[in-house]
Amino acid sequence: MRLASFNVNSVRKRAPHILRFLARQQPDLLFLQELKCKTADFPAKEFAGSGYQVHAIGQDGGRNGVAVLSRIPFEIVAEALPGDDPDHQARYIEVAAAGMHAAGIYLPNGNSGGAEGFLYKLTWMERLRRLAESRLAAFTPLAILGDFNVCPTADDLAPGALPPTDALVRPETRAAWRALEHLGLTDALRALHPAPERIYTYWDYGSAFERNAGLRIDHALLSAELAERLSAVTVDVDPRAEEQPSDHTPLLIDIED
C-alpha cells in the first residue's frame, strides 16, 4: 500500500505535474492540498483515463481546497474536520480504504490574520487531536497526511530559513504537534530517517531549492498498527525540479500488507 501527499499550489496549474507523478510513483491513494479552486472548477477531465477516481473539496474565493485521488475502492468518511460547524475552510478529507482510515489535511499556516489567525491554527490542531484521539480509541488504523505547516524541530528547516516568531516554529505550534505524537501517532519519516538528517518537502520560490534552503512541513502521522507495517518513506524531489513547479514536493509512504 502506497500513500502520498502533495501540496500542489493550484491544481489547475499543476495537473500535468500530478499526472507525471502518478505515472511514475503509482500511489494507491494521493492526497492533494491547496487546490485553489471551487469544487466545480476542479479539472476532473484532466484525470479521466488515469486510472484514478477523484473526490475534491474546493472553496470559494480560490483558496485552500483538498482532494483524494485513488486507484483502490474507498468511502468518504468526512469532508470537514469536526469541532467547529461555522468553519467552512476546505482543509480536511478522510476516507476509509484497505482496512484503514486515511485523512488528507491542509493545516492553517497561522502567519496571516494576526493573533486571530494564529489562534485558528492552534484551535484547528486541537480539533485534529481530538479527532485522532477518537479514531485511536476505536482502534481504527489511522494515517494523517498533508501539509501540516509545522516544522517539528530545528532539524526540520534549513538554518536561518525562518525567524523564531514564525507560526511554523513557535513553541505553541510545536507543543500542539507533540500532543498529536503523544496520542501514539508516529512521524513516519522520522521513524525511518531520524534526526539530525535534514530532509525537506518545501522550498520557497527563487533560489531556495537550488540552495536547499527548505522546510519539512509535509508529514505523515501513523497509528501504531500502521507504523509497525511501515517499510519506506520517500520525498520525491523530481516535481519540484520541473518547470513551473509547486513550492512543495510529494511525500510517499509504503505500508506492507
pLDDT for res 251: 99
pLDDT for res 226: 98
H or E segment to which residue 233 belongs: strand 230-235
Nearest residue to 51 via CA among 75, 76, 77, 18: 18
pLDDT in tens, 31-48: 999 999 999 999 999 999
Grid coordinates given for 181: 505524537
Q: Residue 42 is part of a domain; what is its CATH number?
A: 3.60.10.10
pLDDT for res 27: 98
pLDDT for res 221: 99
Mean pLDDT of the chain: 98
Angle subtended by helix axes 114-137 and 171-181, to nearest 10: 10
pLDDT for res 202: 98
Average pLDDT over every residue of 199-203: 98
Handedness of CA 151, 254, 186, 138 (dihedral sign): positive
pLDDT for res 121: 98
| pLDDT band, residue 217 (cuts 50/70/90) | very high
Average pLDDT over every residue of 218-245: 98
pTM: 0.98
Structural domain that includes position 65: 2-255
pLDDT for res 118: 98
pLDDT for res 134: 98
Nearest residue to 109 via CA among 94, 125, 132: 125
62 or 54, greater pLDDT:
54
Question: Domains in the chain: how many in total?
Answer: 1
What percent of the chain is helix, strand and coil (3-state, nearest 5)?
A: 30, 25, 45
| pLDDT band, residue 139 (cuts 50/70/90) | very high
Grid coordinates given for 165: 516568531
